[in-house]
């Protein structure tokens, strides 16, 4: 399975981040789609990192080894 363009952009932002932390917002300051985040979690490319007590509906995630592998495979 290959990530969509939106999923790939999201996952790439975790490369080089401490712990593989994935962003809540895109390069233009817009929230990353919850559908994109959930699809990446379902595929095993991202995993929830922790719950944000101030914004419990936000999915704070990190890149998984599978996520790194799918990015390398699709370079």
Residue for token pair 């101030």: 54
Q: What is the mean pLDDT of residues 61-68?
A: 96
Read off the DSSP letter of residue 15: T
Q: Is the pLDDT of residue 49 over 80?
A: yes
Domains contained in the chain, number: 1
| Whole-structure pTM value | 0.90
User: Looking at residue 75, what is its pLDDT?
Assistant: 67
- Residue 67 pLDDT class (50, 70, 90 cuts): very high
Which are the contacts of 54, defined by CB distance < 8 A and separation ≥ 6?
A: none
Q: Which domain holds residue 69?
A: 5-73
């Amino acid at each position: 399975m290959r990530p969509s363009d939106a999923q790939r952009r999201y996952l790439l932002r975790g490369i080089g981040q401490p712990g593989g932390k994935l962003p809540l917002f895109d390069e233009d300051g817009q929230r990353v789609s919850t559908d994109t985040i959930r699809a990446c979690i379902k595929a095993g490319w991202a995993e929830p990192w922790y719950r944000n007590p101030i914004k419990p509906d936000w999915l704070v995630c990190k890149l998984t080894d599978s996520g790194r592998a799918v990015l390398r495979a699709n370079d």
